[in-house]
Amino acid sequence: MADMPHGARHETGPTDRDAGRSDDGRSTGPMRYFGVPLLVSGVLGVLQGITGIAEDRLYGVPRHYEYRFDLTSWGWIHLVVGVALIVVGVATLRSMSWGRAAGPATAAVSLVTQFMFIPYYPLWSISVMALDLIILWGLARLAVV
């Protein structure tokens, strides 16, 4: 800031690096609305992964299914994807440039893994898939505008 006569100060506008951020570094505008669903989808994926790793009897095991893995394997897959969604969600909320780019990619990976997991727990998988589709649509829409 430059000192002006009579003690007035000239305020400079935000730089390109600070665009889309508030003074404390949090995101402003539409990005916050897609950071939160990324976090929610990530937490749901982590819970799904922990349940699979613990080999809980919550999941049914299909007899004839092409993508049939051991529940522990599915648990680790969901845990890794869930942690990735949480990290990207935090990056999106902090307005980091790589978070906006990685959001659709991680949501797409989550969508595919949930689709492959439908025979084990359909209601949970379809719910998370709907959330992932909302994330994909929203972040792709922001990229176009």
d(CA 24, CA 73): 40
pLDDT digits (tens, 9 = 90+) for 4-50: 566 555 555 454 444 445 555 555 566 667 889 999 999 999 999 99
pLDDT at 66: 75
Element holding 143 (H helix, E strand): helix 122-144
Q: Provide the residue type at 67 as one letter.
A: Y
- Residue 92 near residue 38, CB atoms below 8 Å: yes
pLDDT digits (tens, 9 = 90+) for 59-80: 777 777 776 778 888 899 999 9
With helix as H, strand as E and coil as C, how does 105-131 read?
A: HHHHHHHHHHHHCCCCCHHHHHHHHHH
pLDDT at 46: 96
For 4, 12, 85, the CA distances from 102, given in Å and listed in that order, are 44, 31, 9
pLDDT digits (tens, 9 = 90+) for 85-110: 999 999 988 888 888 889 999 999 99
pLDDT at 9: 55
State the pTM of this model: 0.76
